[in-house]
Amino acid sequence: MGKVASVAILGATGYTGAELVRLLHGHSAARIDHLSSERFAGKGIAAAFPHLRGTGEWVYRPLEVERVARCDIVFCALPHRASMEVVPRLLAQGQRVIDLSADFRIRDASIYQAWYGDVHSAPDWLPKAVYGLPELNRDSIRSAQLIANPGCYPTSVILALAPLLTHHAVALSPILVDSKSGVSGAGRSPTQESLFAEVADGFRPYKTGGHRHTPEMEQELGRLAGSELVIRFTPHLLPQSRGILSTCYVRPDQHRSDQAWFELFADFYKDEPFVTILPPGEEPATHHVRGSNQCRIMVRFDSRTGWLMVFATIDNLIKGASGQAIQNMNLMLGVTETTGLEAIPLFP
C-alpha cells in the first residue's frame, strides 16, 4: 500500500461533514488530520455526533487556513458564500480542494448571481474548477486542484439523462424533472420546517418558483448535448431522512423498445462501479441504495403517450454529497476509485 494521504474537513458539523468522517474512518489511503468547527472548537467529534463516538480521537479546531497547509486534500463543507471566501485562500497556498458547496459549480458568474443572489467573489476560479461527477469527468478530476462537488439533485438528474443527451437520443425540449428528497438535504440547522412534527407523515413540493440546482443541471447536461437547454425542475420533500428519487420525462427521437433503452443505458455505464441500470419494470427505491454510494436507474418508454421516463435514485448524503467527494478524492490520489465506498445498501 502506498502513502496515506492527510486530509482536512472544514465545517465538519453538518450531515455531510459527519458522513465524510464516517467514510474516511477506515479508508485505507487517507486519514483525517484536521476537523474544523467554531462552535465545537475544543470538543471531540462525539460532541457533535454521538453516533461517531469511538471512531477516532479527533478534536474540532477553529478554522485556520494555514493550519491545513500540510494536508493533501481539503474537503470544504462550509455553507455557500463562506466557501468562496475560504477556498481561494486554500488554493493560493497550493492545496487541492474538494468543495461541497455550490460556490464553484456554476461556470458563469452571472448565472451564479442570478440564482444565488450574490456577486461571486472569486469568479476567476470558476472556469478552473472541475465539476466532480466522476462518471463524466473522470480524467479532469484526477489532475484537478479544485473540485466542485455536485449537488445532490443534479447528481441524480445528470446521471439519469447523460446517456440520452450524449447520444442525442431525445429532444432538448421539453425536459421535465420531478424530484423528491429526504429532509437531511436541508441540513442540520434547526428550522421549524425541518422539525419532525412538521415533516413526518406528510409530503409537499417546495421552491416551486425555481430551485438553485436547476442551472447546475442545465450547464452540465447542455455541455453533453452540445447545446443550451432548459429544464423544468420541481423538488418535493419526503418524510424520510435520506434518499433522492428523480423522475425525468423526455421525448425520444425515435421509437425504441424498453430493452433497447435499457441497453443504451447499460452500455453507457458499463464500466461504472457505482451506477446500476435496472431492467424495465424493476423500479428503483431510495431505501435500496441507502447507506451506499450507488446510483440506480431505470428507463422506460410509454408508447401510448410518447414519453420516455428515467427514474434515478441515490443516497443524497453519499453519492449526492460525501461519498462522491471521497470518490473524487480517490481519483485525485490515484488510488482505486471504490476505496472506502464498498458498503452495500443498508435495508431495511
The nearest distance, CB 305 to a second copy, in angstroms, is 4
If one asks whether residue 208 binds a second copy (CB under 8 A), the answer comes out as yes
Question: Contact with a second copy (CB under 8 A): which of 121, 143, 206, 334?
Answer: 206
Question: Contact with a second copy (CB under 8 A): which of 42, 62, 210, 334?
Answer: 210
Which residue is associated with the grid cell 477556498?
87
Report the SS3 class of residue 346. coil
Question: Contact with a second copy (CB under 8 A): which of 138, 236, 252, 266?
Answer: 236
Residue 231 or 325 with smaller CB distance to a second copy: 231
Evaluate the omega torsion of the peptide bond into residue 154 and state whether it is cis, within 30 degrees of 0: no
Residue 115 or 142 with smaller CB distance to a second copy: 115
Residue 151 or 284 with smaller CB distance to a second copy: 284
**Phi and psi of 44, rounded to 5°?**
-80, 165
If one asks whether residue 213 binds a second copy (CB under 8 A), the answer comes out as no
Residue 41 or 346 with smaller CB distance to a second copy: 346
Rounded-to-integer distance, Cα 100 and Cα 78, Å: 8
If one asks whether residue 81 binds a second copy (CB under 8 A), the answer comes out as no
3-state SS of 65-119 is HHHHCCCCEEEECCCCCHHHHHHHHHHHCCCEEEECCCCCCCCCHHHHHHHHCCC
Interface characters, 276-305, with a second copy (x: CB under 8 A): x-x-xxxxxxxxxxxx--x---x-x-x-xx
Helix (H) or strand (E) segment spanning residue 31: strand 30-36
If one asks whether residue 209 binds a second copy (CB under 8 A), the answer comes out as yes
Interface characters, 239-268, with a second copy (x: CB under 8 A): xxxxx-x-x-x-------------------
Side chain identity at residue 332, one-letter code: M
Report the SS3 class of residue 239. coil
Cell for 315?
Answer: 443516497
Residue 260 or 346 with smaller CB distance to a second copy: 346
If one asks whether residue 174 binds a second copy (CB under 8 A), the answer comes out as yes
Question: Contact with a second copy (CB under 8 A): which of 66, 192, 254, 271?
Answer: 192
Taking the CA atoms of residue 41, residue 43, residue 48 and residue 54 in that order, the dihedral angle to the nearest 10 degrees is: 140
For residue 7, which of 85, 105, 95 has the smallest C-alpha distance? 95
The answer to whether residues 347 and 287 touch, using CB atoms and an 8 Å cutoff, is: yes
What is the Cα gyration radius of the chain? 20
Report the SS3 class of residue 226. coil
The nearest distance, CB 48 to a second copy, in angstroms, is 10
Site for a second copy in 301-340 (CB under 8 A): 302, 304-305, 307, 309, 311, 313
Question: Contact with a second copy (CB under 8 A): which of 178, 223, 252, 256?
Answer: 178
Question: Contact with a second copy (CB under 8 A): which of 73, 183, 221, 295?
Answer: 183
Site for a second copy in 21-80 (CB under 8 A): 22, 25-26, 49-55
Helix (H) or strand (E) segment spanning residue 174: strand 170-181
Residue 42 or 202 with smaller CB distance to a second copy: 202
- Which contacts (CB < 8 Å, 24+ apart) does range 223-226 have? 224/136, 224/162, 224/165, 224/166, 225/165, 225/166, 225/168, 225/172
The nearest distance, CB 163 to a second copy, in angstroms, is 18
Cell for 29?
Answer: 489511503
Of 71, 152, 248, 295, catalytic: 152
Q: Identify whether 76 is a catalytic site residue.
A: no
Which residue is associated with the grid cell 428523480?
246
Interface characters, 132-171, with a second copy (x: CB under 8 A): ----------------------------------------
The catalytic residue positions are: 152
